[in-house]
Structure 1
Amino acid sequence: MTKPTLADLEAFSVVASERSFRRAADLMGISRSALSHRMRKLEEQLGVRLLHRTTRSVSLTDTGSKLLARITPTLSELDATLDSLAEERGEPSGSLRINASKGAARLLLAHVVPSYLARYPDVELDLVSEGRLVDIVEQGFDAGVRLGEAVPQDMIAVSISKEIRFLAVAAPAYLRRFGEPRVPDDLHRHRCIRQRLPSGKRYHWEFARHGQEIAIDVPGALTLDDSDLMVEAAAAGLGIAFIPEETARDRLEAGQLVAILKAWSPPYPGLMLYYSGRRHVPSALRAFIELLRGSDMQAGLVSPYEASDR
C-alpha cells in the first residue's frame, strides 16, 4: 500500500470538518475538483471508503470517522510543534481563523485588525462573519467572538467590550393610544415589532428581575431583521421594539422614544473572544488576544450593540 502524504491527510481533515468539498476547497485555496480527486486518490491508496458523497453534502463513513479520530491528535501536535518554531523566531506566523457575528467582525476590523496585520505580517487572518452560531472546534476555527450569553460554557472567554442592555421602546404617541405595559406579560396585548434572527428564527424577548427570567414570543404584524430599522419603526408609532439601548439612545434622548419595562431589563455581558482550552493555543491567537487587551474595545470604549445575533 502506498502511504498517503501529510498533505492528503490534512486535506481529509478539512473536508471532514467542513462536511463540504466546496467550503474545504475554498479554505485550502484549491479547486473543488482537485480536492475531490485528492480524496479519491487517498481512498484508493488506503483501500477503504472514507466519505459518503451526495450532490449536497459529505459525511464520514465509519472507517473515515475512525481515521479522523486517529489523525486529529497527530495533526494538532504537528501544528503545535511548528507553532513553537515560529515562537523561537520571535514572531507569530501561519493562519488565524476567527468566527464572529457580522457586527463583531465590523468592530474588530475597525479597532484591532489593522494594527494586528501591521504588527504580524506573516499571519494570514481569516475572519468569517455569519449570523448562526457554530461549533468553532468542529468547524476548524481558532476562536470565536460573540456576546457573553452565547459563549459555550466549556470555552475560555476573554471580555473585550462593555456590557450590553436591551430595552423595550415605543413612541409617546403609541403609549398614549394603547397604554404602557407594566410587566412583560402585558406585551401580549400590544403591537410588537418582532425580530428575525440570522438563523431564521424569531427572537423571544428576554426579561429578568429578582432572579426571575421570562422569555416572551410577542405578538405583532411586523417583523424586521435589523435593529436600526426596528428603531425607525418604533419611532413611527408602529409598535413596541426590543433593541440594544445604544441603538435607540439618540431617539430616547430626543424624546422620540420612551423606554418601558426598564426594571425588567438588566445589562448582560458584552462581547467575548472565546477559544477551546483543550487544544494548543497558537501564537497567532495569543498575539491577537494580547492586542485586544490593549485596544479601546477592551477599555470599554466600544459598544457591542451591533454584534448581537443572540
Structure 2
Amino acid sequence: MEKPTLADLTAFAAVAEHRSFTRAADALGQSRSSLSHTILVLEKRLGQRLLHRTTRSVAPTEAGARLLQRIGPVLRDFEQALDGFAEDQGILSGTLRINANEMAARLLLRDAVPTFLSHHPGMMLDLVVDRRLVDIVEQGFDAGVRLAEAVPQDMVAVPFGGVARFIAVASPGYLEGRTPPRTPDDLRSHRCIRHRMPSGKSYRWEFERLGQDWVVDVPGALTLDHNGLMVEAAAAGLGIAYVPELIARAMLDAGRLEIVLSDWSPPIPGLCLYYARHRHVPAGLRAFISILTGR
C-alpha cells in the first residue's frame, strides 16, 4: 500500500473539521474539485471510506473518526513546530481570518489592523463583517470578535477595548419643539428608527438604571438593519435611533446628534476576541492578540 502524504492527511483533517469540502478548500487555498480528488485517492490508498457525503453535509465514518483521532495530535504538533520556527525567525506568513460585527471591525481598523499588517508584512488579514453570530470553527475562521455577552461559553475570550455602551440618539432638529424622553417609556410618543435583527425580528431597546431594567418595543415608521444607516437616519432628523456609542461618536462630536436617556444607558462589558479552546492557536493569531491587548 502506498503511504498517504502529509498533504493528504492534512486535507482529510480539514474536511473532517469543517464538515464541508467547500469551506475546507477555502481554508487550504485550493479548489473544491482538487480537494475532493485528494480525498478519493486517500480512501483508495487506505481501502476505507473515510467520509460520509450527502448533498448537505460531510461527516467522518467510523474508520475516518479513528484515523482523525490518531493523526489529529500529530498534525497539531507539526503545525505548532512550524509556527514556533516562524516566530523564532521573526517572519510570519499566511492568512488570518476573523469574523466580527460592524462595531468591532471599526474598532479593529483604528489601530490593531494597521499595526498588525505593518509589523507582519508577510501576513494577510481577512476581516469579515457579519451581523449574524456564526460558528467560527464551522465557517473556517481563526477567531471572532463580539460583545462579551455574545461569546459562546466554550470559547477562549480575550477582552479588549474597555467597556461599551448602547445609546439613544437624535438630531437637534428632531428634538427642537419636542419634549425629550425622560424615561424609556416616553419613547412610545416619539418617532423611533427601529432595528431589524438578522432573524427578521424587531429589536426591543434595552435600558437599565439603578438596577431597574426596562425593555421597550418602540414605535416607528422606519426600520433598518445596519447601525451606520441608523446613525445617518437619526442625523437626518428621521427619529431616535438606538446604536453603539462607537458608531455614533463622529456624529456626536460634530454636533449632528445628541444623546437622550443618557442615565438609562450604563456601560456594559465590551468586546472580546474569541477562538476555539481545543484548537491550535496559529502564530498569526497569537501575534494579533498581542497587538490587540498591548502585551
Residue type of the partner of 1:96?
Answer: L
Offset, 1:223: 0.9
Does the C-alpha gap of structure 1 residues 36 and 257 become closer, same or farther in structure 2, counting only changes over 3 Å? same
Partner of 2:268: 268
Residue-pair matches, total: 293
- Residue 304 of structure 1 is matched in structure 2 by none
Which runs of 5 or more structure 1 residues have no equivalent in the other structure? 299-310
Distance 2:66 2:189 in 1: 55
1:11 offset after TM fit, Å?
A: 1.5
For residue 86 of structure 1, what is the aligned residue in structure 2?
86
Secondary structure of the 1:127 match is: strand
Q: CA 1:5–1:229 in 2, change beyond 3 Å: closer, same or farther?
A: same
* AA partner of residue 49 (structure 2): V
CA RMSD of aligned residues (A): 3.4
How does 1:48-63 map onto structure 2 within 5 Å?
Answer: 48-54=49-55, 57-63=56-62
Deviations 1:216-246 (A, max 9, x none): 4433331112333323333444332112234
- How far apart are residue 266 of structure 1 and its match? 0.8
Q: Which residue of 2 aligns with 1:206?
A: 206
Counterpart Cα distance in 2 of 1:151 and 1:104: 13
Provide the TM-score with structure 2 as the length reference: 0.79
Amino acid at match of 1:48: R
> Which stretch of structure 1 is more off in the superposition, 72-81 or 152-161?
152-161
Q: Provide Cα deviations, 1:88-141, integer angstroms capped at 9, x if missing partner.
A: 434444553333235534543452334433433444444333332233344443
For residue 4 of structure 2, what is the aligned residue in structure 1? Answer: 4
Contact 1:17 1:139 in 2 (8 A): no
Question: How far off its partner does 1:253 sit?
Answer: 6.3
Task: Determine the structure 2 residue equivalent to 1:112.
Answer: 112
The change in CA–CA distance for 1:60 and 1:177 in structure 2 (over 3 A counts) is farther
The 1-side partners of 2:113 and 2:122 are apart by 14
Give the Å deviation of 1:167. 1.3
Q: Deviations over 1:261-293 (max 9, x none)?
A: 222211123333233454443333222222233
- In structure 2, what is the Cα distance between the partners aligned to 1:52 and 1:277? 27
Q: Are residues 69 and 93 of structure 1, via their aligned partners in 2, closer, same or farther at CA, if it must alter by over 3 Å?
A: same
Match of 1:306 in 2: none
Residues 44 and 190 of structure 1: CA distance in aligned 2, closer, same or farther (over 3 Å): farther
Length-normalised TM-score, structure 1: 0.76
CA contact (8 A) 1:171 1:235 kept: yes
Q: 1:106 to 1:40 in 2, by over 3 A?
A: farther
What's 1:157 paired with?
Answer: 157
1:7 is aligned with what amino acid?
A
Alpha-carbon spacing, 1:189–1:41, altered in 2? closer, same or farther (3 Å) = farther
Task: Return closer, same or farther for 1:282/1:174 CA change in 2, 3 Å cut-off.
Answer: closer
